[in-house]
């Protein structure tokens, strides 16, 4: 453990001792357990509160939503968690928008290579539910990367913006794994797996892949792909056969994506926001985002910097969530695993 991590542990221990002291002085804190008190001190409360980005009419708000990073349900619980995208918080933001009648528009900024099939579908479902329940316009601004699952969650928007440099597309499903049964044979290592059926251990790297394995896996992938195609077809109002012609997994830049109908306009987030204001009669609306209580130590500049690991740590955290050692996992993800 490096010096920074040891210092972080010391800070956490100090905060824990501090929480014990104040628990004797505050009736409100006395009702909490020691763990709850420490969690509150570190992270603040779970309640979402609006933070103003641009001043305006508070009775007519535009909310910024952001998906930054791999779409995986990692839901950081550790003080030194590496993930930048918090799936449960994002869903909570959508629920907050549903309940806030002053919200009249949403700008979703996407910078993601995609991620889990389930998580991507869950976001798409909630965005569709938001549009149905509140009937408010949702514009998307694709930033550096909005590929695979990043496009999946964008497809249902009323309007999609991307820059010419944006990497998008990669419409499809991938499931990767490593088979080392040949190496085991060379080393004289034998698999000792006992199973109730021939396919119970499909995906295991310890035995050769059979034709039946390939058939089942491909059927599974094709089913997920069909759902992806339908999402794009419905969202872009494009026939499925046309979607399939451009949905072979390839990537596009923003200009190419506009030419093939995946994107509406070329522009940056400020351009998408300006269009949302003008086209949806929201001039003068307050521009906000919903954040959790920022009173916790982890949300301070020092706390966030202390908790942040290296880029290598970030990469490893994503890999750990994308797949497991036991079996491959289907992903709406650009770049493989």
Which sequence positions are flagged as catalytic?
148, 200
Report yes or no: 151 and 262 within 8 Å, Cβ to Cβ.
yes
Sole residue written with tokens 């290296």: 310
CA distances from 230 to 124, 125, 227, 235 (A): 12, 13, 5, 8
E-state strands within 167-316: 167-169, 251-253, 265-266, 285-292
25 CB-near residues (< 8 Å, 6+ apart): none
Sole residue written with tokens 């408010």: 136
Sole residue written with tokens 């949806």: 280
251-253 and 167-169 beta bridge pairing: antiparallel
Sole residue written with tokens 């918080």: 89
Distance CA 180, CA 187 (A): 11
For 36, phi then psi, to 5°, come to -65, -40
DSSP classification of residue 334? T
Best CA proximity match to 224, nearest among 107, 129, 124, 146? 124
CA distances from 89 to 75, 253, 292 (A): 8, 30, 8
114-116 and 331-333 beta bridge pairing: antiparallel
* Rounded CA Rg of the chain: 23
């Amino acid at each position: 453990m490096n010096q920074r991590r040891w210092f972080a542990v010391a800070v956490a221990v100090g905060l824990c001792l501090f929480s014990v002291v104040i628990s004797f002085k505050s009736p409100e804190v006395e009702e909490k357990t020691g763990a709850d008190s420490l969690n509150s001190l570190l992270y603040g409360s779970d309640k979402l509160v609006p933070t103003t980005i641009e001043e305006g009419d508070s009775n007519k708000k535009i909310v910024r939503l952001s998906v930054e990073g791999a779409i995986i349900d990692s839901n950081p619980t550790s003080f030194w968690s590496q993930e930048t995208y918090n799936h449960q918080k994002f869903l909570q933001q959508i629920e907050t928008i549903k309940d806030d009648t002053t919200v009249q528009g949403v700008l979703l900024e996407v910078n993601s290579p995609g991620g889990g099939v389930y998580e991507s579908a869950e976001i798409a479902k909630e965005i569709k539910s938001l549009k149905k329940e509140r009937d408010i316009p949702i514009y998307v601004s694709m930033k550096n990367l909005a590929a695979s699952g990043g496009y999946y969650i964008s497809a249902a928007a009323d309007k999609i913006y991307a820059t010419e440099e944006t990497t998008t597309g990669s419409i499809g499903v991938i499931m990767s794994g490593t088979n080392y049964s040949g190496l085991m044979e060379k080393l004289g290592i034998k698999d000792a797996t006992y199973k109730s059926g021939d396919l119970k251990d499909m995906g295991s790297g310890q035995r050769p892949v059979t034709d039946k394995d390939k058939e089942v896996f491909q059927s599974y992938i094709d089913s997920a792909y069909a759902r992806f195609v339908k999402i794009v077809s419905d969202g872009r109002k494009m026939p499925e056969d046309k979607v399939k012609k451009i949905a072979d997994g390839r990537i596009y830049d923003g200009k190419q994506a506009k030419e093939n109908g995946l994107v509406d306009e070329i522009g940056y987030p400020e351009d998408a926001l300006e269009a949302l204001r003008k086209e949806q009669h929201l001039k003068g609306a307050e521009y906000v985002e919903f954040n959790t209580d920022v009173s916790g130590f982890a949300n301070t500049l020092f706390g966030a910097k202390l908790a942040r690991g290296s880029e290598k740590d970030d990469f490893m955290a994503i890999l750990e969530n994308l797949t497991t050692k036991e079996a491959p996992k289907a992903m709406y993800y650009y770049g493989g695993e």
